[in-house]
């Protein structure tokens, strides 16, 4: 695993790694990002929320995006970035799958979906982080950006 520091641009890179499309990668990325979140100063509860969001995102990338294809990778980047007066932990997880439309993802809180077996991952990622963005990366791939403010009280 490659850990590196990049201080000259103002952003501090805590992790930059390519993972194979396996469930082991989910555990490994979660552990690496939990470590990075701890080093960035997040308390235990915040680390837990960040870890859960990362787990859900990695599962989506490995299972739904790359469909366990061993020729496809999941790229994970973690930075501490300054935006104005804010300092954020920014996690970018990119798969090499066919992508999806956010508007077509059913609302897991809707009465008719409450008892569905699956479909809560994206919702939980949004609930546990301060910001979440999803964008397509040409030619094939989806990048999810998860942002947690340092010192944020959102739960």
Partner 1 sequence: MSVKLNTRQVGDVTVIDVSGRITLGEGSSALRDALRELTAQGHKKILLNLGDVSYIDSSGIGELVSGFTTVANQGGTLKLLSLTKRVKDLLQITKLYTVFDVHEDEAHAIRSFAA
Interaction of residue 48 with partner 1, rule CB under 8 A? yes
Taking residue 71's Cβ as centre, other Cβ atoms within 10 Å add up to: 8
Interaction of residue 124 with partner 1, rule CB under 8 A? yes
Interaction of residue 59 with partner 1, rule CB under 8 A? yes
**Binding segment toward partner 1, per CB under 8 A, in 3-11, 84-92, 93-101, 108-116:** 108-116
Q: Which of 117, 138, 139, 153 binds partner 1 (CB under 8 A)?
A: 117
Smallest separation (angstroms) from partner 1 to the CB of 31: 12
* Closer by beta carbon to partner 1, 26 or else 134: 26
Smallest separation (angstroms) from partner 1 to the CB of 51: 9
* DSSP letter assigned to residue 1: -
CA–CA distance, 96 with 60 (Å, rounded to integer): 11
Q: Which helix (H) or strand (E) holds 136?
A: strand 131-136
Nearest partner of 76 among 149, 150, 21, judged by Cα: 21
Burial class of 5 by CB neighbour count within 10 A (0 to 12, 13 to 18, 19+): exposed
Interface positions with partner 1 (CB under 8 A): 23, 26, 48, 52, 55-56, 59, 63, 108-109, 114-118, 120-121, 123-124, 127, 155
């Amino acid at each position: 695993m490659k850990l590196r520091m990049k201080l000259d641009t103002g952003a501090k890179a805590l992790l930059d790694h390519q993972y194979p499309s396996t469930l082991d990668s989910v555990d490994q990325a979660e552990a690496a990002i939990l470590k990075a979140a701890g080093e960035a100063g997040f308390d235990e509860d915040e680390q837990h929320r960040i870890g859960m969001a990362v787990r859900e995102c990695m599962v989506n990338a490995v299972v739904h995006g790359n469909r366990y294809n061993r020729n496809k990778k999941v790229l994970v980047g973690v930075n501490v970035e300054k935006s104005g007066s804010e300092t954020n932990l920014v996690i970018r997880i990119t798969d090499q799958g066919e992508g999806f439309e956010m508007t077509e993802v059913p609302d897991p809180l809707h009465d008719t979906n409450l008892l569905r077996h699956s479909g809560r991952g994206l919702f939980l990622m949004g609930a546990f982080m301060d910001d979440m963005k999803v964008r397509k990366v040409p030619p094939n791939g989806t990048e999810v950006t998860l942002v947690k403010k340092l010192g944020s009280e959102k739960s």
